[in-house]
């Protein structure tokens, strides 16, 4: 089967890029013809390893713009949805090249990976192409204008994939009567045997984009009492984003500079997870929370706020701790403290987490994708 993925920037480091590369690698390893198209390219090589049979191409190479294309790249997009959180990454140049790329497709499967790209596919990809829009955030995260565009244009897609049962129900309601198939498919874990943590280091780990949504300010405040009672414990946060300076200021204000460390980006998060004894997710809301499953695959017990969507479908009982309500600093401190102070509880939860994470194995998720695409292709 010929399968094309369309990413905004396949050369970036982020959760969506990592999971889409995992999907593409799994399908290529199964013998499918896989192409990965990146709207943008800002470095020579991608940060995540690709299967050798995958063809990678970029529509706009930011490292090799001419005077003319630089002018177009500096002008705001007329076609991308302004309500999309990455609207500023699109431009007049990407408009031209995206539309030309999409209109030039013939047959096969096109999988787009964020709302703006799903909307482009719905508007400009030929009907002879099987169009599948991926959602990595839950419907409620989208503002009213983006939701209105989704309700209108997604009806032209052949299928929409979502990460949670709650989102599947929502999209089925919003797209009722359109004939669009809504399928719940989780993101896959990397197709490698994960290192198992010994759970013996005084280390709590968290990861994600440094934005307010991810609640790292809450996590830092929740960790402060633990650092006071257990000064050998550390909190490491991996990721980059606009909140970095504010978080650094908070760390200094709470005198946690010897205990909380902003580690920046890493393409080898799995190695760092295997060093941790606890994984913490303090998001104010989540699309899914795949990073929880990644930590669980290393036998690291997760602690997460019980967001309305996401974590409660990953932490399902006995394989981690859900904290409610989201944003409750004292409740998060209590949950983290329990695992810090009770090694036997860490080990018990970690063992069950390891088993639970097998739901997200590459083989299982790939089989789900293959079944969906086969059924869509066979549908007259």
Sheet holding 33-41, edge to edge: 55-61, 33-41, 2-9, 109-112, 130-134, 159-162, 181-184
Lowest-confidence region among 10-14, 240-244, 323-327, 370-374: 10-14
Confirm if 273 and 21 have CB atoms less than 8 A apart: no
Strand 321-323 to strand 33-41: parallel, antiparallel, or no bridges (unpaired)? unpaired
- Average per-residue pLDDT in the chain? 95
Please report which confidence band the pLDDT of residue 107 belongs to, taking 50, 70 and 90 as the band edges.
very high
What is the gyration radius of the CA atoms in the chain, in angstroms? 21
Distance from CA of residue 161 to its chain's centroid?
Answer: 14
Lowest-confidence region among 5-19, 79-93, 116-130: 5-19
Please report which confidence band the pLDDT of residue 380 belongs to, taking 50, 70 and 90 as the band edges.
low
Average pLDDT over residues 297-304: 97
pLDDT tens-place string over residues 224-282: 999 999 999 999 999 999 999 999 999 999 999 999 999 999 888 899 999 999 999 99
End-to-end CA distance of the chain: 17
Q: What is the pLDDT of residue 134?
A: 97
Q: Is the pLDDT of residue 31 over 80?
A: yes
- Distances from the Cα of 344 to the Cαs of 260, 338, 354, in angstroms? 25, 10, 16
CA distance 149 to 81: 8
Q: What is the pLDDT of residue 181?
A: 97
Q: Pull the structure tokens for residue 50.
A: 């690709």
Q: What is the 3-state secondary structure (H, E, C) of the chain?
A: CEEEEEEEECCCCCHHHHHHHHHHHHHHHCCCEEEEEEEEECCCCCCCCCCCCCEEEEEEEHHHCCHHHHHHHCCECCCCCCCCCCHHHCEHHHHHHHHHHHHCCCCCEEEECCHHHHHHHHHHCCCCCEEEEECCCCHHHCCHHHHHHHHHHHHHCCEEEECCHHHHHHHHHHCCCCCCEEEECCCCCCCCCCCCCCCCCCEEEEECCCCHHHCHHHHHHHHHHHHHHCCCCEEEEECCCCCHHHHHHHHHHCCCCCCEEEEECCCCHHHHHCCCCEEEECCCCCCCCHHHHHHHHCCCCEEEECCCCCHHHHCCCCCCEEECCCCCHHHHHHHHHHHHHCHHHHHHHHHHHHHHHHHHCHHHHHHHHHHHHHHHHHCC
pLDDT tens-place string over residues 303-354: 999 987 889 989 988 899 999 999 999 999 999 999 999 999 999 999 999 9
Average pLDDT over residues 146-168: 95
Q: Is the pLDDT of residue 145 over 90?
A: yes
Q: What is the pLDDT of residue 108?
A: 95
Residue 172 backbone class (left: φ over 0; alpha: ψ -120 to 50; beta: rest): alpha
Q: What is the pLDDT of residue 217?
A: 98
Please report which confidence band the pLDDT of residue 288 belongs to, taking 50, 70 and 90 as the band edges.
confident
31 class by beta-carbon count within 10 Å (0-12 exposed, 13-18 middle, 19+ buried): exposed
Domains located in the chain, CATH noted: 2-188+361-378 (3.40.50.2000), 203-359 (3.40.50.2000)
pLDDT tens-place string over residues 43-64: 999 989 999 999 999 999 999 9
Percent over 90 (pLDDT), the chain: 85
Q: Pull the structure tokens for residue 343.
A: 């090694």
182 or 379, higher pLDDT: 182
CA distance 331 to 323: 6
Q: Is the pLDDT of residue 191 over 80?
A: no
pLDDT tens-place string over residues 208-223: 999 999 999 999 999 9
Q: Is the pLDDT of residue 152 over 90?
A: yes
């Amino acid at each position: 089967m010929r399968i094309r993925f369309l990413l905004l920037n396949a050369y970036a480091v982020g959760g969506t890029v990592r999971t889409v590369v995992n999907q593409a690698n799994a399908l290529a390893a199964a013998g499918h013809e896989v192409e990965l198209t990146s709207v943008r390219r800002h470095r020579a090589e991608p940060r995540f390893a690709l299967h050798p049979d995958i063809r990678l191409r970029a529509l706009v190479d930011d490292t090799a713009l001419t005077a003319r294309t630089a002018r177009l790249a500096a002008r705001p997009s007329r076609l991308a949805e302004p309500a999309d959180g990455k609207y500023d990454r699109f431009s007049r140049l990407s408009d031209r090249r995206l539309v030309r790329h999409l209109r030039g497709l013939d047959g096969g499967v096109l999988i787009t990976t964020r709302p703006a790209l799903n909307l482009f596919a719905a508007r400009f990809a030929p009907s002879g192409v099987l169009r599948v829009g991926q959602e990595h955030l839950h419907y409620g995260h989208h503002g009213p204008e983006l939701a209105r565009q989704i309700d209108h244009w997604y009806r032209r897609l052949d299928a929409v994939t979502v990460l949670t049962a709650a989102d599947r129900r929502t999209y089925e309601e919003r797209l009722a009567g359109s004939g669009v198939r809504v399928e719940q498919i989780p993101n896959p874990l990397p197709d490698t045997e994960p290192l198992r943590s010994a759970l013996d280091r005084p280390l709590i780990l968290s990861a994600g984009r440094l934005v307010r949504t991810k609640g790292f300010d809450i996590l830092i405040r929740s960790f402060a009492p633990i650092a006071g009672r257990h000064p050998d414990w550390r909190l490491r946060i991996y990721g980059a984003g606009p909140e970095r300076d504010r978080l650094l200021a908070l760390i200094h204000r709470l005198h946690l500079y010897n205990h909380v460390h902003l580690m920046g980006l890493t393409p080898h998060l799995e190695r760092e997870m295997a060093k941790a004894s606890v994984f913490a997710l303090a998001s104010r809301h989540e699309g899914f929370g795949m990073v929880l499953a990644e930590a669980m695959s290393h036998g690291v017990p997760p602690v997460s706020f019980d967001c309305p969507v996401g974590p409660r479908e990953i932490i399902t009982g006995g394989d981690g701790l859900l904290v409610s309500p989201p944003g409750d600093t004292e409740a998060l401190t209590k949950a983290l403290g329990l695992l810090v102070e009770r090694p036997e509880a860490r080990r018990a939860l970690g063992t069950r987490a390891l088993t639970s994470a097998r739901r997200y194995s590459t083989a299982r998720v790939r089989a789900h994708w293959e079944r969906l695409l086969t059924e869509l292709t066979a549908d007259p």
